[in-house]
Amino acid sequence: MDTYLRKRGIPLAEQHQEIISRLMGKAKDVVKVTLRCNPALNPVENPRVIIDILKQHFSDVNYSCMPLADFYGTVPLAGEDPVEYWVRLNKAVDFAEEALKRLGRRMEDPCQEAAMMFVKYCPDSTLAAVFRFKAPEKWTAQEIQEQLDRYHTELKEQMSVKPKRHPVTRHVTAHVQTFNEDEQDVDSPELGECSRASNAHTVQDDNCMRTLINLLDRALAQNAQMPSRQPQSKLCRVCQSHDHSTVTHCRREHLCFACFQPGHSKRDCTSDRSRPGPAQFRGPLGLN
């Protein structure tokens, strides 16, 4: 709106009428009622009071005559992510700083105030434990941003390596469901004792299957969490180390798989080593 009024060259005394004429619905009604009930507000001399009224009623952030109280009342919402809370906290400090400037006041260090608020009300227990190593006033906004970046990266890594359910377990689970369906169908009174005996055997087999499933799930979870202890049988051709393979080294350092140089991939490599020779086409798949 400021840009529009400046480009149109509208005089200051007419700006409030131009702003009100472009409002519609509830926003226009709220502004008119507020200006009528509060004669101290003078939109002719200060058209920004209309913008303040709109922010107070329609902004997501608290916007009242007590900007510091609104900022210090910005606490985490239920289930809110730490990154989302950090962003919302910085928006609140921006609103508070803007409101204080209109009142002729200012914050000494807005970033430090936001950092102390985040340390005090951090919604994640793991991050909160990290922030306890120093006093809240000792943390800077840059340090908090670094901790949040590390937290977000680790969270993405945990989601990417989440163990998947083995197909054997799904097959056994389906087998148990078949047992349960058969158990429900065998309720006919004509079967007598044979039916009850078969039912007992089915329940016993069902219990055995459930025990087997639990053991399989536990073994698969342990295998997914346990790092591989098998020694590397091949020697890294880049650094001559036995701790990792050539492929691992190239992927980690972003090197070409052909010439072991950075800046390009094997597909774009122009060295002689990237050209296929007779020794490179051994076996049915063309692999070494």
**Ranges of each domain in the chain:** 2-160, 167-225, 233-268
Model pLDDT, residue 132? 87
Q: List Cβ neighbours of 254 (8 Å cut-off, separation of 6 or more).
A: 262
Q: What's the pLDDT band for 168 if we cut at 50, 70, 90?
A: very low
Packing angle of the helix pair 82-102, 141-160 (nearest 10 deg): 150
Question: pLDDT by residue (tens digit) across 29-51?
Answer: 988 888 888 888 888 888 888 88
Mean pLDDT computed over 60-78: 77
Phi, psi dihedral angles at 255 (to 5 degrees) = -105, 160
Question: pLDDT by residue (tens digit) across 246-265?
Answer: 888 888 888 888 888 888 88
Question: Apex CA 104: angle with CA 142 and CA 2, to 5°?
Answer: 80
pTM, full prediction: 0.42
Examine the pLDDT at 157 and tell me if it is beyond 90.
no
Share of the chain above pLDDT 90, in %: 10
Q: How far apart are CA 49 and CA 247, in angstroms?
A: 64
Examine the pLDDT at 4 and tell me if it is beyond 80.
yes
Share of the chain above pLDDT 70, in %: 72
Examine the pLDDT at 86 and tell me if it is beyond 90.
yes
Q: List Cβ neighbours of 87 (8 Å cut-off, separation of 6 or more).
A: none
